[in-house]
Homo-oligomer: A and B are copies of this chain.
Amino acid sequence: MAWELKTDRPIYAQLIEQLELRICSGIYPPGARMPSVRDLAQEASVNPNTMQRALASLEEDGLLYSHRTSGRFVTKDVEMIRKTRNKLAQEQVHEFLKKMGELGFEYSEILSIITDLAEELIK
């Protein structure tokens, strides 16, 4: 999963989202050591300060914690990660259905669009 940073919104916000995603999807597993701020910043082609800001935010949420010199780690609280994952999923579903609704799509239509797409990807 590559870093995808668009210019139409604050980078730190996008970093937060993508780090959250990486944690919830297990790319950074519970208890794992994160790459250093500087390495992450270089990976994402971003200033270390910007990356630091994003990491600090996740730390506030409790998803990360840091030991001064040994590095920064993903929480070992798998329950918290699971809840975060569900929260993110629910937000996605909610936003999606809202937008589609505003565009005038019925549930039946939405369902058939997704099933069609699913079949596309299977074959």
Contacts and interface: CB of A to CB of B under 8 A. Distances in A.
Contact of A93 (B9, B25, B104, B113): B113
Q: Quick one: copies of this chain in the complex?
A: 2
Interface residues of A, number: 31
B89 A103 contact: yes
A92 interface: yes
A122 B9 CA distance: 36
Interface in A80-94: 85, 88-89, 92-93
A73 to B, nearest CB: 21
Give chain A's interface secondary structure class.
helix
Given A13-B9, A110-B114, A89 B93 contact: no
Interface of A: 1, 8-10, 13, 21, 24-26, 85, 88-89, 92-93, 96-97, 99-100, 102-105, 107, 110-111, 113-115, 117-118, 121
